[in-house]
Structure 1
Amino acid sequence: MLTATQVLAQNNFGDTRTGGLAGPMGLFLILLLATATILLIRNMNARLRRLPDRFPQEPQSTDHTRADAAVGDPTDGMEKQDSSSNAPDGRQQHRNG
Structure 2
Amino acid sequence: MLTAAQVLAENNFGDTRTGGLAGPMGLFLILVLAAATVLLIRNMNARLRRLPDRFPAPDGADAGRVEAGVVDPTDGTAMQDSRPNTPKRAQQG
The TM-score normalised by the length of structure 1 is 0.45
Larger RCO: 1 or 2 (CA < 8 Å, sep 6+): 2
The TM-score normalised by the length of structure 2 is 0.47
Greater Rg, structure 1 or structure 2? 1
